Structure 1
Amino acid sequence: MLTINGLDKAYGDLSVLKNINLHVRDREFVAILGPSGSGKSTLFQLIGGIIKPEHGTITLNNEVINGKKGLISYMPQQPSLFPWRTVLENVVLAAELTGKPNVEEAKQWLEKVGLAEFENSYPIDLSGGMRQRVSFIRALLSKQSLLCLDEPFSALDEFTRIKMQKWLLSVWEENRKSVLFITHSIEEAIFLADRIYVLSKRPATMKAEITVPFSRPRNESLLETTEFFDLKQQIFQYIKEEIVE
């Protein structure tokens, strides 16, 4: 699926990423954690082909994709919906850019996520969580094999965020696209992911790779277990070392 080897990125004299190595397997959910400014979003820009690395390779499905655009699905921190397009029109937008959209499939997904009655509504009529669901379905329907999610729930309140995490897992279990997920929340990373990469401070290197030991499907009772708390503390120490140093 996705393999990154020896990736370096700098802006002039400012080194942002240094010797980054990671991989995402087919149908795997991988999270990336790190302190603010460690280059997590820069990594997504590199994978998406918006910028090129100084060194290293990005390989997707056995093809080197350095500097190549349009090969991944992407969901940003904000929903980025067009206010003049209806919910249904926003959902099919990504598919429109690459070919003829499947409107019936889009309607089926809106039905699955509880938004069928809003297909002709506009983004201003939706709650924050509803707009995020629309944004996610739009990315899901783009037909790319890798879905990159850049802190998609960071702007939501805690209660809505937990609901969206559970919703994301339920949709992902059904679809099982490969996912690379950036988050600042250790709990979110553990709850969602199969594996977690922890970045150091800038210039970011890979500080740790952690396999999440919890079986699927998962529910929020996991958050109250001793095993969950112990893993959270382990990861917290990794990140704390980068902030204190």
Structure 2
Amino acid sequence: MSELEVKQVSKSFGEKQVLDSVSFSVKEGEFVSLLGPSGSGKSTLFHLIGGLYTPDEGGLYLGGEDITGMRGKISYTPQSPSLFPWRTILENVVLGQELFAKPDKDKALSMLERAGLAEYAGAYPHQLSGGMRQRAAFVRSLLSPQPFICLDEPFSALDEFTRLEMQKWLLSIWEENRKSILFVTHNIEEAIFLSDRVLVLSSNPAMVKRELTIPFERPRREELVLTEEFLEWKKQIYHELRSEG
């Protein structure tokens, strides 16, 4: 089971309260995006889910198990790919497997091929473009044994065209294995295009202001972003982000 439950989580750093009684869930096989202004505590939430921080109040549960303050229960892809420069791409993508069991290099090579990286399996990270390194980081997350993946603004450093291609690639890979994903982004279009649900956070401190279920069928095609209905959803979320309270 990979359902994540965040229950009444609060977190402060010194006198600054970052999160205030945040509650939400991500169901098994669901793709949920967290959307909020800069400094709204999105990354802090990820650090709490990953066990790097412990909440002041509340708890976190994965498949019914209390994972509050526990590391290694989720797979995490940060904004930068964080590949080890001394390891080949193949060695990097099996790292998560190595920590728990013997790596399946045949499966890893198959996934690299799906990512268009088969010919770079023996290359080193500095030999790849930013988008290619990010694809390798995704493959590593998908190969890791944890059933839940957190993605922290993984496309923020990419140009618009590469970003769209990466979004389509991510969805195509995700459709095949349907691991539960919690995705942080500042980009409204990205959140709508990728997600089953979008959670809009307030800031100072963060609370879940609004939860929106995205109605578009899967698989999703890039033409979707040009439709009138998509634009209406974008406007609605934009106004939600801009409004106070």
TM-score by length of 1: 0.98
Q: Which residue of 1 aligns with 2:29?
A: 27
Q: 1:80 aligns with which of 82, 88, 91?
A: 82
Q: Which residue of 2 aligns with 1:165?
A: 167
Asked if 1 retains the 8 angstrom alpha-carbon contact of 2:96 and 2:145, the reply is: no
Instruction: Kindly state the Cα deviation for residue 30 of structure 1 after the two structures are TM-superposed.
Output: 0.2
Kindly indicate whether residue 13 of structure 2 is the aligned counterpart of residue 7 of structure 1. no
The 5 A counterparts of 1:191-206 are: 191-206=193-208
Q: Which amino acid aligns with 1:208?
A: R
Q: 1:238 aligns with which of 224, 232, 240?
A: 240
In structure 1, how many angstroms separate the alpha carbons of the residues matched to 2:92 and 2:4?
Answer: 28
Q: Which residue of 2 aligns with 1:213?
A: 215
Structure 2: which 5+ runs fail to align? none
Q: Secondary structure at the match of 1:80?
A: coil
Q: Runs (4+) of structure 1 moved beyond 6 Å?
A: none
In structure 1, how many angstroms separate the alpha carbons of the residues matched to 2:110 and 2:223?
Answer: 30
The 5 A counterparts of 1:146-165 are: 146-165=148-167
Instruction: Kindly state the Cα deviation for residue 128 of structure 1 after the two structures are TM-superposed.
Output: 1.0
Q: Which residue of 2 aligns with 1:62?
A: 64
Q: Secondary structure at the match of 1:79?
A: coil
Q: Which residue of 2 aligns with 1:37?
A: 39
Instruction: Kindly state the Cα deviation for residue 99 of structure 1 after the two structures are TM-superposed.
Output: 2.1
Q: Secondary structure at the match of 1:43?
A: helix
Q: Which amino acid aligns with 1:153?
A: F
In structure 1, how many angstroms separate the alpha carbons of the residues matched to 2:240 and 2:91?
Answer: 43
- The sequence identity of aligned pairs, in percent, is 58
In structure 2, how many angstroms separate the alpha carbons of the residues matched to 1:238 and 1:210?
Answer: 11
Instruction: Kindly state the Cα deviation for residue 136 of structure 1 after the two structures are TM-superposed.
Output: 0.4
Structure 1: which 5+ runs fail to align? none
What is the count of residue pairs matched by the alignment? 243
Instruction: Kindly state the Cα deviation for residue 115 of structure 1 after the two structures are TM-superposed.
Output: 0.9
Two-structure CA RMSD over aligned residues (Å): 0.9
In structure 2, how many angstroms separate the alpha carbons of the residues matched to 1:157 and 1:135?
Answer: 18
